[in-house]
Amino acid sequence: MQIAPNLRIFGECFLGRYVIGVSSQGITSIEFNNSIEAVEGILTEKGEIGNKQKVTQEKENWIRMANLWLMNPRLTPKFPIHLAGTPFQLKVWKALIDIPFGTTISYSDFARSVGISNGARAVANACAQNKLAIVVPCHRVTRKDGSLGGYKWGLELKQRLIEWEKQQSKS
C-alpha cells in the first residue's frame, strides 16, 4: 500500500538534502538526496511540484519537529510516523526501530530475531522499500561479513550514518 502524502517539504541537515512527506496521520517519508535536481525529481515524479496543499498547524508542528530531529537524530523522534506497507514490511520496519543506536546487526541475524528463518533477502527487500530514512534505521542492518550491503540512499550515506552513530554513542 502506498501513501499519497498531502505535503512534501525539503530541507538540508548535516547528512545532506532531504524531502519530508506528511499525511494527515503523520510523517510518511524522509528521503535523502544531495542533488537539488533529484529532490525536485522526487517531487515532480510524485506530481507534487506546485501542489498547493493546505498546511494545518498540526502538520506544520510535525514538520518542525522532524526538521529539528534531523539536526540530532540520536534523540527519540517526537513526531508521529505513518507507515504503510505489507504486513511483512510493517513487521520488519517496526522491529528495525528497536535496533539500538550505534549498533549494527546482520540481515540474517535480524531476520532470525524477528522469527524469519532464512529471511535475510526478504528483510533486505523490506529495508529497500523503507521511506523513513534514519527514523526506521535500516542503515543499521549490514551483511554477515560486515560489509554494508545496500542502502536506498547510497552506501556513502549508510557508512557515514554508521560511523556517526558509533562516534556519538561513545560520547
Q: Does residue 109 or residue 36 have the better pLDDT?
A: 109
∠ CA 95-98-99, nearest 5°, is: 100
The DSSP output letter for 138 is G
Average pLDDT over residues 9-27: 85
Cβ contacts of 65 within 8 Å, gap of 6 or more: 77, 78, 79
Q: How many CB atoms within 10 Å of residue 84? A: 15
Amino acid at 21: G
Q: Answer whether residue 100 shows pLDDT above 90.
A: yes
* pLDDT score for 48: 45
The structural domains of the chain, ordered by start, are: 7-71 (3.30.160), 87-170 (1.10.10.10)
Of these residues, 20, 70, 120, 138, which one is catalytic?
138
Average pLDDT over residues 16-38: 80
Grid cell for residue 168: 556519538
CA distances from 98 to 43, 55, 57, 89, 115 (A): 30, 31, 30, 15, 15
Name the band, by pLDDT with cuts 50, 70 and 90, for residue 49: very low
Mean pLDDT over each residue of the chain, to the nearest integer: 85
Q: Answer whether residue 169 shows pLDDT above 70.
A: yes
Residue whose grid cell is 552513530: 165
Lowest-confidence segment of 16-25, 33-42, 131-140 by average pLDDT: 33-42
Instruction: Report the chain's C-alpha Rg in angstroms.
Output: 16
Name the band, by pLDDT with cuts 50, 70 and 90, for residue 36: low
- Which pTM value belongs to this model? 0.84
13 classed as catalytic: no
